[in-house]
Each structure stands twice: as C-alpha cells, then as structure tokens.
C-alpha cells in the first residue's frame, strides 16, 4: 500500500511558498483587483496518496486510449452528476470541495452504470467538519478532501446536509448567524415541521452515505502525466485538478491554447471530465467548473493538453469509492426517527453497493477498449 509518496511530499513542499494563506490575496488584474487563493494545502493534510490497486496507466497503453472521451456523452447519455455553483447563497472559496466531491460522485454514477437517481455528496459536511485537513470557505485542497473522507468516516448525501456556503471561519452573508460546527446535527439533519407547530430539527444517526477506498495524485513530478491522467479518467472517471482561475474570469468559450508562466500558479480546483480533438487536430481537456451554468460553456471550459496550461496538469487528485448507499433497508420517519434495523437484522438501516476497481478485471477493460465501449457500461 502507498501511504505517502516521496513525489507527492516533494511536490507539496515545492509549491508551498506559492500558496496564499487565508489572509492573503492575489492582485492579478481581475475585475476587483483582489482574489483569494482558494487552493491551500493545510498542515493536517499529510497523506496525499493512499492506494494499493494498480493505476490505470499501468494496464492501459496510451495508444489504446480513444481519440476522444467525454463523460457528458457516452452513447448519447451523460454519466456526470449535476453542475454546481460554489458562490451562492454567498461567496465561499470551496472550489476544492466542489471539484473533489463532484468527481467522486461522478465515479459513483459511472460504477452504477448510470442507473438510479444521482447520488450527490454533501459539500457542506466537508466545510463543517474538514477544517485543518480538507479546508474551509477560505480555501483548501482536493487531495485533502479525499484524505479527510477516507480517515474520518462516511460522506452524507446532500439531501440531509445541503450546501450553505458557510464555514466556522466565514462571516460572509448569513454565515455568522448559523452554526457550522461539526456536530451530529451538522452532519445529517432534518426538521419535523414548523417550530410554531411544535416541530424540532435534529441530527440523524443513520443516513445514506458513501466512503473513499483509495486516493492519489498526479503532479509536475509525474512523468508522462497526460497519458496517466487520460488513463485515469477513462478507466475510473473524472478527476479533480488545480487551475489558475484569473484567465477564466471572463472566459466566453472555445479552446484555451495560450498562457504565461504566472498563469500556471494554481489558485482554484475544478474537475476534468474528458478530452477531445478540435478541427485543427489539437487535443484539449474538457473541464467542469463550479461557477454555475451561466458561466462559460454551460459551466465547462476547454484548454489544450500537454502544456500544463493554467496549471491544469500540475495538481491532479483522484479517489475511488469504497461503498455507497443504494437503498434504505429500514427507512427513517419524516422527522428522522425510526432508522434502526429490524430486530435480528444485522445488515443495518441501509443497503450498500461496493465499488469494484477496474484492475480486478483487466480482460474486461481491454475488451472494452477493442470494442469501443466502456468496461463498466
């Protein structure tokens, strides 16, 4: 098992001087003149890599990958979960959580073959509980989110912990008026009825959830990283990635093909969902942002591969699910009570599906590549 790779630690040490603290801002010609750096590697984040399964590039040759692969359109259907906007109901620098959990939720959807309702993971849970390792509204890291999720138990679904765009260190909007501490009621909760009618809000002990089994990174010290990132995306699903957001502020569409050295300094986290080739024969990444669908190409943007434009290939993180709830064995009541399992039933209140890594069945992967289809579908 890989716990902390020397490559990842060396990389984190190398970029640390470039990362702004929560009190610092980057003055780089955006509309306001001031932008917070939302990418922060916190002191509690010590394990960027923790995996044992073979990596996809070890069993998928670059020449065997398709010319284009887009998880938004697999045989006419999208296997991505819904697009998000980190900036409402007030500003919060939680791109790291959005990029990380969107990619993980996508991988769960892919593992299910796109069957059933989408499973969307609670970003607010990471904001409530992940400070010190993952991040807050003042920034964090995608790899820190994955480490926190693996080490600190399951991620609740967002139906019992919706996004509020607040953390305990934020006073933006209504944040100073609400409790975002890591309590039971701030992990998963519901309210029975109006308070004037005798209703209460309370935490739920048993709730649908998902876990992280393995996680890892690709960075500037990774050799042949375009092949490795593409193999990772093809085999297991979207990845979270760092990018410089300044050139994206007024992005109007098209493939970004130019950028300077300073534009490679990462200050924002997104997710790469595929790649393709334009009419000029140039390959590009397909990337999802967390600024809403009013922005860019319905919330997405494209930029060339292979040149680390905007730092897109310098700070990539991935995670695989462990298990995820697919059905209620004993549904809770409206007020959140009565969730325990039946007498004598040790299976618990929820039924889970376990993730199977593609490396378990390499013949299926290779057959899918030969036949032009994906092994999970």
Q: Which candidate in 95, 160, 175, 188 is catalytic?
A: 95
Say if CB 373 and CB 365 are below 8 A apart: no
Query: Which candidate in 45, 57, 268, 374 is catalytic?
Result: 268
Cα distance between residue 84 and residue 103, in whole Å:
12
On whether the CB atoms of residues 189 and 161 are closer than 8 A, the answer is yes
Q: How far apart are CA 249 and CA 247, in angstroms?
A: 6
Q: Residue 7 has what pLDDT? A: 46
What pLDDT is recorded for position 34?
Answer: 67
Q: How far apart are CA 138 and CA 143, in angstroms?
A: 16
The Cα 79–Cα 112 span in angstroms is 10
Catalytic residue among 289, 339, 350, 374: 289
CATH class (in words) of the domain with range 6-49+75-187+197-371: alpha beta
289 noted as active-site residue: yes
Query: From first to last of its 377 residues, what are the pLDDT tens digits of the chain?
Result: 444 444 454 454 445 444 443 333 343 444 445 678 999 999 999 999 999 999 999 999 999 999 999 999 999 999 999 999 999 999 999 999 999 999 999 999 999 999 999 999 999 999 999 999 999 999 999 999 999 999 998 999 999 999 999 999 999 999 999 999 999 999 999 998 999 999 989 899 889 999 999 999 999 888 999 999 999 999 999 999 999 999 999 999 999 999 999 999 999 999 999 999 999 999 999 999 999 999 999 999 999 999 999 999 999 999 999 999 998 767 788 887 777 655 544 456 678 999 999 999 999 999 999 888 888 88
pLDDT in tens, 19-75: 443 333 343 444 445 678 999 999 999 999 999 999 999 999 999 999 999 999 999
**Structure pTM?**
0.90
Q: Which residues pair with 283 in a beta bridge?
A: 277
Count the neighbouring beta carbons within 10 Å of the beta carbon of residue 377.
12
Phi-psi region of 14 (alpha: psi -120 to 50; beta: other; left: phi over 0): alpha
Annotation marks residue 268 as catalytic: yes
Residue found under tokens 């290939």? 313
95 as an active site residue: the answer is yes
CB 271 within 8 A of CB 240: yes
Which residues, including other chains, have CB under 8 Å from residue 261's CB and lie 6 or more apart? none
Task: Quote the pLDDT of residue 33.
Answer: 52
The whole-number pLDDT of residue 136 equals 98
């Amino acid at each position: 098992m890989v716990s902390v790779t020397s490559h990842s630690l060396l990389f984190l040490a190398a970029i640390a001087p470039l990362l702004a603290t929560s009190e610092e801002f980057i003055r780089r010609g955006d509309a306001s003149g001031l932008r917070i750096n939302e990418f922060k590697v916190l002191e509690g984040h010590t394990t960027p890599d923790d995996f044992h399964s073979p990596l996809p590039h070890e069993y998928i040759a670059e020449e065997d990958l398709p010319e284009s692969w887009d998880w938004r359109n697999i045989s006419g259907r999208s296997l991505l979960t819904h697009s998000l906007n980190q900036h409402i109901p007030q500003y919060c620098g939680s791109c790291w959580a959005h990029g990380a959990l969107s990619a993980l939720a996508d991988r769960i959807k892919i593992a299910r073959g796109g069957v059933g309702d989408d499973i969307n993971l609670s970003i607010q849970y990471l904001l409530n509980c992940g400070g010190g390792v993952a991040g807050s509204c003042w920034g964090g890291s995608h790899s820190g989110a994955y480490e926190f999720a693996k080490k600190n138990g399951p991620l609740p679904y967002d139906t019992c912990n919706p996004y509020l765009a607040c953390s305990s260190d934020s006073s933006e909007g209504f944040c100073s008026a609400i409790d975002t501490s890591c309590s039971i009621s701030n992990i998963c909760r519901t309210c029975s009825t109006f308070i004037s009618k005798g209703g209460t809000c309370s935490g739920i002990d048993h709730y649908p959830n998902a876990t992280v089994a393995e996680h890892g990174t690709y960075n500037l010290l990774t050799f042949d990283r375009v092949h490795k990132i593409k193999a990772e995306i093809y085999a297991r699903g979207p990845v979270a990635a760092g990018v410089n957001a300044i050139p994206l502020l007024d992005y109007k569409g098209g493939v970004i093909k130019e950028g300077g050295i300073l534009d490679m300094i990462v200050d924002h986290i997104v997710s790469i969902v595929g790649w393709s080739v334009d009419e000029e024969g140039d390959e590009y990444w397909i990337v999802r942002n967390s600024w809403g669908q009013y922005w860019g190409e319905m919330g997405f943007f494209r930029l060339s591969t292979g040149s680390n434009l905007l730092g897109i290939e310098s700070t990539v993180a991935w995670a695989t699910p462990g298990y995820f709830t697919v059905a209620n064995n004993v549904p809770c009541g409206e007020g959140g009570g009565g969730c325990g399992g039946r007498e004598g039933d040790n299976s618990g209140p929820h039924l889970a599906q376990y993730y199977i890594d593609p490396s378990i069945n390499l013949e299926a992967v290779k057959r899918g590549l030969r036949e032009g289809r994906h092994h999970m579908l």
